[in-house]
Amino acid sequence: MVGIVVVSHSRALADAAVALASEMLSGRPVPIEVAAGLDDATFGTDAMAIVTAITAADAANGAGRAAGSDAANGAGVVVLMDLGSAVLSAELALELLDDEVRERVLLCPAPLVEGLVVAAVSAAGGASRAEVAAEASGALAGKLSQLGTPPGELPQPGELPQPGELPQPGELTQPGEVQACSAGGAPAGTGSVGGPVGTFTVVNAHGLHARPAAALAALVRGLESDSQARVELRNLTTGSGWVPAASLSKLGTLGALAGHQVEVRAEGVRAEAALDKVLALGARGFNELAAPPRSPAPPAGAAPAARPVGAPIGAAPGLGIGPARPLRTVPGAATEPIPATRPAGNPAVEWRRLTDAVDIARANIRRVRARAAAQVGASEAAIFDAHLAMLEDPELLGGARTRIDAGPAAQAAEPAWAAAITEAHDALAALPDEYLRARAADVRAVGDQVLRALAGGPAEVACPEGVLVAADLTPAEAAELDAGRVDAVVLAYGSPTAHATILLRALGIPTVVGAGSAVLRIADGTLVAVDGTRGEVIVDPDTDMQRELRERAEALVEGDREARALADKPAATLNGVPIAVAANIGSVADARAAAERGADLAGLVRTEFLFLDRDSAPDAAEQESTYRAIAAALGGRRITLRTLDVGGDKPLSYLPTPAEANPFLGLRGIRLALARPQLLAEQLLAVVRVAHDTPVDVMFPMVSALDELLTARRMLTEAVALAGRGDPPELRVGIMVEVPATALKAAVFAPHVDFFSIGTNDLTQYTLAAERGNDTVAAIGDPLDPGVLRLIDAVCRASEGGGPLVAVCGELAADERAAPVLLGLGVRELSVNPRAVPGVKQAVRGVDLAKATDLAAQALRAESATAVRALLTAFTP
């Protein structure tokens, strides 16, 4: 991939330009280096700094050249400069480079901002060095075309076309006629407007709602970034008008539901390619998990539908005391627009105020998205992509800009933005579909973030202080909570393995789930105590109880302090049996956090983070580099690399798979890897290379048949031979136990593995037929159900007498109260989120293994998860 160097007099300008360009890349990495300013605050350029930046960008592409690219056709570097002495400094830097490097560098005369955006997108798409420079040099063509202005002529105020404005039917022109075959839709033809036309059927259960619409708008914005293709859509089923595909708010007004036919048309030099990409995205459901439609929301004030719940479940440890705060006060609740209290100023100033506020809101949403992605996964964080797309929506921004630039009737930024938001909100709210109408609240919530920033306050809703009480929380709602303000969370329903609960646990917020509908009647401000360890909710405690609770809370704080102080020490039971406490990680940053928290090893590295949000799979060299970085962050501790676990509920855009009625039971995990053996072969080669230099476990997910394991092991042997260094000395092989049949057949697998790692989240939902993301049955899915424990016991029995190590890497491992029963069953490794490591280690140190073995035997005979939890509450380690 081509590297890019940005040379500017201003460091702030260069960083901002790089940030803008990065927005267009959708997570695809492009090596971009900056040589700007004499320091962070002083304008100027430095030739030696440019040499350093070019060298770094060129080095990032060394692996590609080593694989066989020559200097003329290899990746190389394109240098973009702002003006004046930046060009002179770049030319001097070119002279100072070694000859070999110099011949891989092109100085590009493109405009810095527009050129950088186009160059980055082109590089991410695999363009050559010459192509990247050529695309960047033509970056102004799109702007000139949009404004309809020959070079040298500038339009007068009021003459600019509004953002997102497209010609009406009959106005588009395309030389010649294009015939194409659309991917997954009706055959593409040539429409009356002269460009290619095609159709697709909406297969998403909720229609073209926020997430798929955001994916579509992002794709089209990337396609339109070089102004060589423009795309519009209309709903053929309802007979709607054409709307710009790059506008998220306009896409919402199509009212496109599951089964509706959507027509797509494109114009421009790359119209046919753009059409095919849009149709292909629609055919695969916009990369969204297929799921049954939700039931309509109950009318306001109606009681929630009855559903099975047991006793309250402690889902996140700790004790919180505070005033009850019902869900209606949490982030995301719609608020009235903030009115402007000042007259409109200069339009340029008002527009700058609005764009600055949008930037503040965008930064906050990205922060929340990053936290959600790290804790519960990229798919669950995708809702924030829709929020970000709203802030890029040309219709919303254009509507506000029109009002700001309206001459004598010009408005200040606040009412202009509020009016644009209200218009988009009302268009969605008027749709007949209940689910799409609900998306109007997303528009209002995002709009309100900008209004708050305009008013000088934080872009995010002020997080409530106290105990949050709700029927349930989505991952998005959980991600926005501030652990410094929320004392605890009480959910009437929910599950300890739901994604929102996992996030709350990672945030360290004491949580009780399955508390029953009665908690929804707790009055706002009522004092509530929540013990997330014991699973207790105490409403309006008297003075003596409050004193006892606060003493208990202080003891918990002191216990946490002691656990943190001993976090870097090994954990062993009171009987001296060593227990490894590992960390589940999904990034290099997670690995650093795990090391800081005292993790003994990485018990689960979710390698799919490398494969998501990009257009092609990472090669062995890129994977090897990242795995080495994780190992380095952990200081040489063993790392357990789980091979790619995608498919079904976690699709890859570049690896299309057929739609599945039940993706959790479909082509995923090892099944998908074996169906696409080149992907697995590349990954195993990277694993083997790293294993020669650091202790590595390789773990295969979703194994349910011995043949799957044996095939994967043969491919591992082939990878060892290809690496050419013999058998790695400390490479171990294991499988995830997530399927009940695998647990029951553990003795069959045992001779072929070094360890079993039990994924209790999937094992629980498969065993109890209760999908953890389905809020009508989630409360059934308790991992402490005796049926689940008996499967864990079966794995441990198959490993007795020197057999494979048994680990648990699901959320049950992080439940400190569950440690005695797991250790009593025979588990000898617990892998948890990094934050939980110190507490779990301390829980292990308090376990008498003999007593724990008796406890486990009682738990296996118990009649329900509630009975097991009662045993744990009464248990004395």
Q: Which one from 499, 692, 752, 796 is the annotated catalytic residue?
A: 499
- Distances from the Cα of 283 to the Cαs of 198, 245, 288, 380, in angstroms? 12, 16, 11, 21
Q: How far apart are CA 40 and CA 36, in angstroms?
A: 8
Within 10 angstroms of residue 427's Cβ, the number of other Cβ atoms is 17
The residues that bridge with 486 in the sheet, in sequence order, are: 466
DSSP 643: P
Name the nearest CA neighbour of 499 among 365, 380, 370, 603: 380
Q: Are 209 and 282 in contact (CB under 8 A)?
A: no
Q: Are 805 and 824 in contact (CB under 8 A)?
A: no
DSSP 287: G
Buried b (16+ CB within 10 A) or exposed e, 747-784: eebbeebbbbbbbbbbbbbbbbebbbbbbebbbbbbbb
Helix (H, G, I), strand (E, B) or coil at 348: helix
Q: Are 254 and 208 in contact (CB under 8 A)?
A: yes
What one-character-per-residue DSSP string does 231-246 give? EEEEETTTTPPPEETT
Q: Which residues, 6+ apart, have CB-to-CB distance to 77 below 8 Å?
A: 2, 3, 4, 5, 54, 57, 58, 61, 104, 105, 106, 129
What one-character-per-residue DSSP string does 494-559 give? --TTSHHHHHHHHHT--EEE---GGGGGPPTT-EEEEETTTTEEEES--HHHHHHHHHHHHHHHHH
- Distances from the Cα of 518 to the Cαs of 311, 319, 356, in angstroms? 12, 20, 44
* Catalytic residue flag (residue 463): no
Q: Write out the E strands in 167-249.
A: 186-190, 196-201, 230-235, 243-244
Q: How far apart are CA 105 and CA 517, in angstroms?
A: 66
Q: Are 690 and 627 in contact (CB under 8 A)?
A: yes
Q: Which residues, 6+ apart, have CB-to-CB distance to 839 below 8 Å?
A: 317, 560, 563, 816
- By residue count, the chain amounts to 877
* Catalytic residue flag (residue 809): yes
Name the nearest CA neighbour of 330 among 470, 210, 447, 529: 470
Q: Write out the E strands in 178-291.
A: 186-190, 196-201, 230-235, 243-244, 261-267
Backbone angles phi, psi at 422, to 5 degrees: -60, -40
Q: Residue 296's Cα: distance from chain center in Å?
A: 27
Q: How many CA atoms lie within 13 A of 756 on its CB side?
A: 34
Q: Which residues, 6+ apart, have CB-to-CB distance to 153 below 8 Å?
A: none
Q: Are 698 and 713 in contact (CB under 8 A)?
A: no
Q: Are 53 and 11 in contact (CB under 8 A)?
A: no
Q: Are 528 and 501 in contact (CB under 8 A)?
A: no
Q: How far apart are CA 316 and CA 496, in angstroms?
A: 8
Tokens linked to 37: 């300013």
Helix (H, G, I), strand (E, B) or coil at 426: helix
The residues that bridge with 4 in the sheet, in sequence order, are: 32, 78
What one-character-per-residue DSSP string does 559-606 give? HHHHHHHTTTS-EE-TT--EEEEEEEESSHHHHHHHHHTT-SSEEEEE
Positions marked catalytic: 499, 809
